[in-house]
Amino acid sequence: MFCFQCQETARNTGCTVAGVCGKKDNVANLQDLLIYVVKGLSVVRINLGYSNDAIDKYIVDALFTTITNANFDDQDIISKIKEGLALRDQATPTCSCGCSVDLPDCVTWKPENDEEIIAKANSLDVSVQATENEDIRSLRELLTYGVKGMSAYLHHAMVLGYDDKELHKFIRKAMASTVDDTLSGDDLTAFVLECGKYVVDTMALLDKANTETYGHPEITEVEIGVRNNPAILISGHDLKDMEQLLEQTKGTGVDVYTHSEMLPAHYYPAFKKYDHFVGNYGGAWHTQKSEFESFNGPIVMTTNCIVPPAESYVDRIYTTGVVGYPGLKYIPVDENGNKDFSEVIEKAKKCAPPKQIETGKIVGGFAHNQVFALADKVVEAVKSGAVRKFVVMAGCDGRHNSRNYYTEFAKALPEDTIILTAGCAKYRYNKLNLGDIGGIPRVLDAGQCNDCYSLAVIALKLKEVFELEDINDLPIAYNVAWYEQKAVAVLLALLHLGVKNIYLGPTLPAFLSPNVANVLVENFGIGAISTVDEDIEKMINQ
Ligand code: SF4
Ligand code: SF3
C-alpha cells in the first residue's frame, strides 16, 4: 500500500505498511482500485459520450467511500468495484473494428474473478506511485482529493434530493484527466484551480439543500451534559439520517445526542421540535473510543470519521451510508431513501443511560443567515475598533498532540479578535469560554466543515459592506487546520474565491511535491504554521 491522502500519514510522507488511521494494506489497495474504476468510468463517459444517472451516482458514492475514516471493509469495497465494472462495461460499446485499442487500461481491464480483482488492487498499476514524475503525481492526487471532498458534499446534497449535472460533469472530467498522459503540469494545475470553483458550487448546493429542508441555522445553546434515559449517539455529517432517527425515536423513551460533526444539527430549526434531542456528547472524532465506551448506548456512524472500534462497544456501533467496517451492523437505505433504525432503538432500550463526562453548554449556529441578522452589530463593532480582526480557524481536528497549537492559539488571541469556525477543528477551543465582544461571542461556529461556505458568504458580504475591491483587504486572517480530503476541497474553494495568505497546519500535505507547494506559496501565499507567538504576530499584529 501507499497512501498519503491525509494529514496524519506516516512520517508525513506516506503510510506503507498499514494506515495510521487503521486502514489495512489490502483495504488501502482495494480503495486505490475503486478509484481506478472511477477513472475508467469517467473516461468512458467523456470519450464515448454516454450519459447515465446511475454512473454519476456511483462515481460520487465511490469517491466518498475512499475518504479517510469512512470505509474499512474489504468486502464492501470489492462489491463496489464489481458494481462499477458492471456499469463501465454496460456503457462501453463493443465494436469489432478495434476502436477501443486507444482506451486506457482503467477502461479495458476485465477481471475474471475475485482473485484477479485482489491481484489488480495489489499491483502498481492502480497505485498512487504508478505516476513516476513527482509533480504530475502530486497534481493528480491534489485534484483527486479535492474531488473526493467535493463528492462527499455532493452526496449529502443528493440524499436530500438536490443535484446539478455540471458538478458531475466536472468530476468526470477531473478524474479522467488523472489518467491522461498528454496533460502537462500546467494543464493539471488549471484543473486543480477549476476544482475550487466547483467545490464552491457544491457547497452552495448543499447549503441550499440543508437550509431549504431544515431551515436556517440559528443561535443555539447546546447542552453537553446528559439526562438519565437510555440514548443513541449519532455522528458524521448526514442530516437526513439525523431527521429519520429523531422521527423514529419520538415517544420511545430513548434520547438522542450528537457527536463530533453532528453537533450543528442542533442549530437547525427543524430539529429543535424534538424534546428527546438532548445535546452533544464528547468532542471531535479522534476522542470517540473513550466517549463511545462511556456513552453506554448505541452509536450510529453516518459518515466519516469512524475509527477501528474498541471491544467495549463493538456490539453497539452501527454504520450506514458509505461507512463500512468489517463485522459491524449496517443500516441500509430503501429505494425511497428511508432507513429503519428500529434495531438501534431496541438496542438502546437495553443499555444504561450515558455516563456524564462534562457539564455546561456550547453556543453555535452562526451560519450566514444568522450572522447577517447580526450584521449591524458586527459592522459597528469593526468600525468602532471593538473587533480588530476575525480569524478563520475552520477545518478538521486530529489525534496529534501538535494540534494543541490550536487551543493555545485561540487562548493567546487578543480579546478584540473573533474566531470564525466550521468543521470539527472547533473542538480544540469551543469549550474555553472565550467570552464575547459587545454580545458577539468570540467563537462563531457556522456548523459542519461544509458550512465553510457560510464563512465565505460572510466574508463576501463584509467586502460589500465595507466597499472593498479585494477580499484580502478585510480584517480576516486564515489559520486553517486540515486532516482529510474535505478540507483539501475547502482549501481549493478558498483559493478560488481569491483568498490569499492562508496558514495551513499542523503540517503541509505530504502529497504536495516541493514544486507544487512552491506554486501555492508563490501564487497564493499559503504558508505553514510555526509557533503560537510568531503566528499571532504575523496574522494579527501585522
Ligand atoms: Fe495513512 Fe491517512 Fe491514508 Fe489512513 S488515510 S492510510 S492515515 S494517509
Ligand atoms: Fe472532522 Fe472527520 Fe474533517 Fe467534517 S469529522 S471535519 S475530520
Q: What is the pLDDT of residues 59-92, one digit of tens each?
A: 999 999 999 999 999 999 999 999 999 999 888 7
What does the alpha-carbon distance between residue 111 and residue 23 come to, in Å, rounded to a whole number?
24
Give yes or no for residue 304 CB within 6 A of ligand 2.
yes
Between CA 237 and CA 244, with CA 241 as vertex, the angle to 5 degrees is 150
Please tell me the predicted confidence (pLDDT) of residue 542: 81
pLDDT tens digits, one per residue of 106-125:
999 999 999 999 999 999 99
What does the alpha-carbon distance between residue 376 and residue 448 come to, in Å, rounded to a whole number?
25
Ligand lying nearest the CA atom of residue 67: 1
Please tell me the predicted confidence (pLDDT) of residue 91: 82
Is 293 annotated to bind a ligand? Reply is no
What's the gap in Å between 2 CA and the centre of ligand 1?
9
Q: What pTM value is reported for the model?
A: 0.97
Residues in the chain: 542
What's the gap in Å between 22 CA and the centre of ligand 1?
8
Give yes or no for residue 445 CB within 6 A of ligand 2.
no
What's the gap in Å between 161 CA and the centre of ligand 2?
23
What does the alpha-carbon distance between residue 222 and residue 66 come to, in Å, rounded to a whole number?
32
Where do runs of H (alpha helix) occur along 160-284? 165-177, 185-214, 239-249, 269-272
- Reported confidence tier of residue 206, pLDDT bands at 50, 70, 90: very high
Q: Considering only CA atoms, which residue is closest to atom 7 of ligand 2?
A: 396
User: 119 CB contacts (<8 Å, ≥6 apart)?
Assistant: none
CA distances from 320 to 25, 60, 301, 340, 528 (A): 23, 16, 6, 11, 36
Give yes or no for residue 71 CB within 6 A of ligand 1.
no
- Reported confidence tier of residue 52, pLDDT bands at 50, 70, 90: confident
Please tell me the predicted confidence (pLDDT) of residue 125: 95
Q: How many CA atoms lie within 13 A of 249 on its CB side?
A: 32
Is 6 annotated to bind a ligand? Reply is yes
Q: Report whether pLDDT(97) > 70.
A: no
Give the dihedral sign, CA 368/371/372/373.
positive
Ligand lying nearest the CA atom of residue 7: 1
- Partnered with residue 421 across adjacent β-strands are 445
Give yes or no for residue 9 CB within 6 A of ligand 1.
yes
Given a contact cutoff of 8 angstroms between Cβ atoms, the answer to whether 343 and 329 are in contact is yes
Is 23 annotated to bind a ligand? Reply is no
Is 449 annotated to bind a ligand? Reply is yes
Is 97 annotated to bind a ligand? Reply is no
How do 417-421 and 389-392 pair as beta strands?
Answer: parallel
Give yes or no for residue 153 CB within 6 A of ligand 2.
no
pLDDT tens digits, one per residue of 274-326:
999 999 999 999 999 999 999 999 999 999 999 999 999 999 999 999 999 99
- Reported confidence tier of residue 49, pLDDT bands at 50, 70, 90: low
The residue to mutate among 400, 483, 485, 504, having the most atoms of ligand 2 within 8 angstroms of its beta carbon, is: 483
What's the gap in Å between 265 CA and the centre of ligand 2?
15
pLDDT tens digits, one per residue of 455-499:
999 999 999 999 999 999 999 999 999 999 999 999 999 999 999
Q: Report whether pLDDT(102) > 80.
A: no
- Reported confidence tier of residue 50, pLDDT bands at 50, 70, 90: low
Percent of the chain with pLDDT strictly greater than 70: 97
Q: Considering only CA atoms, which residue is closest to atom 3 of ligand 2?
A: 396
As a three-state string, the secondary structure of 302-330 is: CCCCCCCCCHHHHHHEEEECCCECCCCEE
Given a contact cutoff of 8 angstroms between Cβ atoms, the answer to whether 167 and 174 are in contact is no
Give yes or no for residue 7 CB within 6 A of ligand 1.
no
Please tell me the predicted confidence (pLDDT) of residue 92: 73
What does the alpha-carbon distance between residue 250 and residue 487 come to, in Å, rounded to a whole number?
35
Give yes or no for residue 19 CB within 6 A of ligand 1.
yes
What does the alpha-carbon distance between residue 317 and residue 291 come to, in Å, rounded to a whole number?
12
Give yes or no for residue 20 CB within 6 A of ligand 1.
yes
Give yes or no for residue 261 CB within 6 A of ligand 2.
yes
pLDDT tens digits, one per residue of 394-416:
999 999 999 999 999 999 999 99
Residue 502 carries which DSSP code?
E
What's the whole-number average pLDDT of the chain?
A: 96
Is 452 annotated to bind a ligand? Reply is no
- Reported confidence tier of residue 103, pLDDT bands at 50, 70, 90: confident
Strand order, beta sheet including 361-364: 329-331, 317-320, 299-301, 231-235, 255-258, 277-280, 220-223, 361-364
Q: Could you identify the atom of ligand 2 that is nearest to the CA of residue 395?
A: 6
Other beta carbons within 10 Å of 223: 17
Q: Could you identify the atom of ligand 2 that is nearest to the CA of residue 304?
A: 2
Give yes or no for residue 307 CB within 6 A of ligand 1.
no
For the chain, helix, strand, coil in percent to 5 are 50, 10, 35
Is 106 annotated to bind a ligand? Reply is no
